Chains A and B, each alone.
Chain A
C-alpha cells in the first residue's frame, strides 16, 4: 500500500470511471470482492435504490491539538464535564432509544463531580462566576432551560443524589451561604422533597412495559361499555390522553382499540377523557 491520505480514502469510496473498483453488493446479493474482473456498478440496481437515502456519519475529527480540556485548569475541566453530563442526561429523556446503561453512567459521573465539588466547598469557585450567579435566578446559569415535563431532570436529579446534604452548615454561615448560593447556580438546587422520586422516575422510565399484552388481553368492550358515546359524531374524535410522541403510534393505538370494539370506532369527548384517564391509571397500576 502506498502512502495513505485519509481524505482521499473517503473520496475513493465513490465509484470512479476507469479505476478497477471492487464491486460490492447488498448483503443478500452475491459478488465476492476478490474477483479480478470489474463488475460494473450499474448491474446491482439494489445499490442505487432509494434505500440508501441516509447519509453516513460525517467524519468527526478531533481537534488538531491535544484534547482542549487538558489545557484547562482542573475546576474548569470539571465544570465542562459537568455541563456535558447534564446536557446528555437531558437529551437522554428525549432520545428515541433511551439507554439505562448510559443514564446510569452519566448519573454516576455527575454524582462524583458533585461530591468532589461539595468536599472542596466554595473555595475553588473561580471568581468569574460570582458576578452573574449572585442574582440567583431560578434556572441556574449553566443549566439550559429544561422542558417542563416529564422530568425536571437535572434539577431534582442532583437533589436526589444528595438528599441529606445541608445547604448551610453550622460553621461559618456567611461563607457557606454564599457558597451555597453559588452551589445552586453552578449545580441545580439541592432542596426538594420530591427529588427522591425523580431519579426513580428517570430510571423507571426505561422499563419496557408489557403494554401490548395488556391491551390485547383485556376485554376492551367490557371496560368501555359504560361510556356513553352515542351523542358524539364520528368526526369529532379528539386527542387521546396518552402522549403523542409518535403520531403514527397513536393512530395505531386508536386503530387497535377500534378493532377491539364491537362496531363503530370509539369516540371520546373531553369529559370522558377524564374517565378514560382514570381507567387507564387503574389498568397500569394493577
Chain B
C-alpha cells in the first residue's frame, strides 16, 4: 500500500455480510437497511420478505480501536407473497422499508412494509424459563397423579438466550398503489404510509382504520402526471411531514391546517436550468428519497444525479447541491435504455448533520462533508478490507482510462449499485447494501 497521503479517507471496512458467490438468489437481494435509534441494532430486509437484525456486540463497543462488530440477532419472515385474484397479479413480498420505533421497554419494535401491507413486529429476548411445575414434566406431559407427593412452585431458571419476533399488528388493505414510504411520528403513537398517490396516517394501536391525509389521484386517471415518491414526518414537530414527487418537488404539509393536506404549506422546488434541459430532465429530477436532518432544520432530497440540502425556511432553492455522479449526465440516453435511470437511491445524514452520504454505481458510495465542503468516493468491495486500513478514495474520469484509483466512466459497472444506506444515529458507522452483500464501514478512530 502506497503511503499516499492524498486519496485516503478516514473510513475503513468493518464487516461484510452475505455470500461471496456471484450467483445470488433473487430472494436474497437486500432491499432495506436501517439502524435503530440507539444504533445497537441494524435491520435489513430482502426481496424474499425476510428481515435479519444484527446487534452490536456490547463488549467491543467500548474498545478504542473499533466501534463494534454486528452479529446476527434475529431472523424472521416478515412478509409472504400474496396473490391478487382479480388482477392475476402477484403482490411481492419484497421489503420496501423498515422503520424502528423508539424503544420504550425491553422489547424492540419495528415497522416493515411491502407493496401492500405494513406490519409491526416485536422483537423480544427470553433468557429465563419456568421450571419445576407441580403437575407437569419438563417436556409438558402431565405427571401421573400417583407420583405427586409434594407441592412445588415453579421457579425461573436461566436458559440460552432466545430472541423472538412476533407480529403485533398487521395494517392491511389501506393502499391501492404500491407503498414506497413509512415514517414514525415523533409522537410515538402515529405513523404515515405513502403510496404512489396517497399518504395515510395510522395510529399504531389500530389496524382497522387509517386516515387519508394526502390524495393526489386525479378524477380522470389520464390526467395523471405526478406521483408521490417518498414521504417523511418531521423529527420534532408531530404535525409536519413532507412528501416528494416524481416532478422533483417536495411539499411540506401541516396537519393542523386541514384534515386533508392536499394544499401544501410549503413547496420546495428548484426552477429548472434551461441550459441542461433534455428529454430526461423530468425523469432525473424525480425525488428518490427525502430525509430530514436530525436537527429538523434541514431536509435532504436525492434525485438521480444530485443531493440537495434545503433549509426549511427557504422554498425557492436548496442551500447546498452536491453532484453525486455528474459524469453520468452525458450518458443519460444509455442509462434510459438500460433502465438504470429509474433507479431509486436513498440518502442519509450523519449523526451530527455535518455529513451526508448516498450510493452510486460500481459499488461506489459518496460521502459529503458539509462543513469542510469536501467529498469522497469510496468503494464497497470486500477486497478493500483489512482491519483498520483506511479506504482509498476514487476518481471517475472520462473515457476508459484506468489508473490507480481512477476509473473511466465507460468502465463503470451499472449492475453494481448501492441503493440502500443507513447511518448510525450517533457514531460514524454506516451500513449499506450492494446487490449481493451488506457492508459496514466505520470511521478510523486513531
User: Interface 1/0s, chain B 1-15, versus A by CB < 8 A?
Assistant: 100000000000111
For B24, B86, B115, B383, the residue with the greatest tally of chain A CB atoms inside 10 Å of its CB is B86
The residue in chain A whose Cβ has the minimal distance to the Cβ of B44 is A27
A1-B405, A209-B86 known; A84 and B222 CB under 8 Å?
no
List B residues 408-434 near A (Cβ within 8 Å). 409-416
User: Interface 1/0s, chain A 237-280, versus B by CB < 8 A?
Assistant: 00000111110011011001000000000000000000000000
* B392 within 8 Å of A (CB atoms): yes
* A167 within 8 Å of B (CB atoms): no
* B435 within 8 Å of A (CB atoms): yes
Query: Which residues in B have their C-beta under 8 angstroms from that of A80?
Result: 333
Out of A52, A100, A199, name the residue touching B24 (CB < 8 Å).
Answer: A52
* B273 within 8 Å of A (CB atoms): no
Interface segment, B131-139, B279-287, B316-324? B279-287
B415 lies within 8 A of A56 (CB): yes
A3-B404, A67-B331 known; A53 and B71 CB under 8 Å?
no
B221 lies within 8 A of A199 (CB): yes
Interface segment, A28-36, A137-145, A226-234? A28-36
B222 lies within 8 A of A200 (CB): yes
Query: Which residues in A have their C-beta under 8 angstroms from that of B436?
Result: 56
B330 lies within 8 A of A66 (CB): yes
* B176 within 8 Å of A (CB atoms): yes
B196 lies within 8 A of A67 (CB): no
* B58 within 8 Å of A (CB atoms): no
Q: How far is the CA of A112 from the CA of B272 in the complex (A)?
A: 15
Interface segment, B103-111, B185-193, B224-232? B224-232
A14-B22, A24-B20, A243-B88 known; A6 and B407 CB under 8 Å?
yes
CB A167 to nearest CB in B, in angstroms, measures 19
* B40 within 8 Å of A (CB atoms): no
* B39 within 8 Å of A (CB atoms): no
The residue in chain A whose Cβ has the minimal distance to the Cβ of B218 is A203
A55-B23, A81-B336, A104-B227 known; A211 and B86 CB under 8 Å?
yes
Q: How many residues of B are in contact with the other chain, CB < 8 A? A: 97
Q: How far is the CA of A6 from the CA of B197 in the complex (A)?
A: 42
Out of A57, A65, A81, A252, name the residue touching B415 (CB < 8 Å).
Answer: A57
Out of A10, A26, A161, A209, name the residue touching B19 (CB < 8 Å).
Answer: A26
User: Interface 1/0s, chain B 239-269, versus A by CB < 8 A?
Assistant: 0000000100000000000000000000000
User: Interface 1/0s, chain A 16-54, versus B by CB < 8 A?
Assistant: 000001111111111011100000010000010001111
A4-B407, A203-B221 known; A54 and B88 CB under 8 Å?
no
A1 lies within 8 A of B1 (CB): yes
Q: How far is the CA of A80 from the CA of B332 in the complex (A)?
A: 13
Q: How far is the CA of A29 from the CA of B18 in the complex (A)?
A: 8
The residue in chain A whose Cβ has the minimal distance to the Cβ of B439 is A33
Out of A54, A62, A101, A213, name the residue touching B196 (CB < 8 Å).
Answer: A101
B227 lies within 8 A of A101 (CB): yes
Query: Which residues in B have their C-beta under 8 angstroms from that of A214?
Result: 86
User: Interface 1/0s, chain A 102-119, versus B by CB < 8 A?
Assistant: 101101110011000000
Q: How far is the CA of A28 from the CA of B331 in the complex (A)?
A: 38
* A207 within 8 Å of B (CB atoms): yes
For A59, A68, A105, the residue with the greatest tally of chain B CB atoms inside 10 Å of its CB is A105
The residue in chain A whose Cβ has the minimal distance to the Cβ of B54 is A27
CB B359 to nearest CB in A, in angstroms, measures 16
B178 lies within 8 A of A3 (CB): no
A52-B23, A56-B415 known; A108 and B282 CB under 8 Å?
yes
B438 lies within 8 A of A105 (CB): no
A33 lies within 8 A of B331 (CB): no
CB A219 to nearest CB in B, in angstroms, measures 17
User: Interface 1/0s, chain B 149-183, versus A by CB < 8 A?
Assistant: 00000000000000000000000010111101000
Out of B44, B85, B227, B339, name the residue touching A100 (CB < 8 Å).
Answer: B227
A24 lies within 8 A of B84 (CB): no
Q: How far is the CA of A47 from the CA of B20 in the complex (A)?
A: 8
CB A166 to nearest CB in B, in angstroms, measures 19
For B30, B84, B180, B399, the residue with the greatest tally of chain A CB atoms inside 10 Å of its CB is B84
With A9-B383, A59-B415 already in contact, 16 other A-B pairs whose C-beta atoms are closer than 8 Å: A3-B404, A26-B18, A67-B330, A67-B334, A101-B229, A101-B286, A101-B342, A109-B283, A160-B222, A196-B222, A199-B224, A202-B221, A205-B87, A211-B86, A214-B86, A253-B83
List the 7 closest pairs (A to B, CB-CB), nearest first: A199-B222, A57-B415, A211-B86, A69-B333, A203-B221, A34-B387, A33-B16
Q: List 24 A-B contacts (CB under 8 A).
A: A1-B383, A5-B402, A6-B411, A6-B413, A15-B20, A22-B16, A24-B19, A27-B72, A28-B75, A32-B69, A33-B16, A54-B25, A56-B435, A62-B334, A69-B333, A84-B337, A101-B342, A109-B279, A206-B177, A206-B196, A208-B115, A208-B116, A211-B86, A242-B88
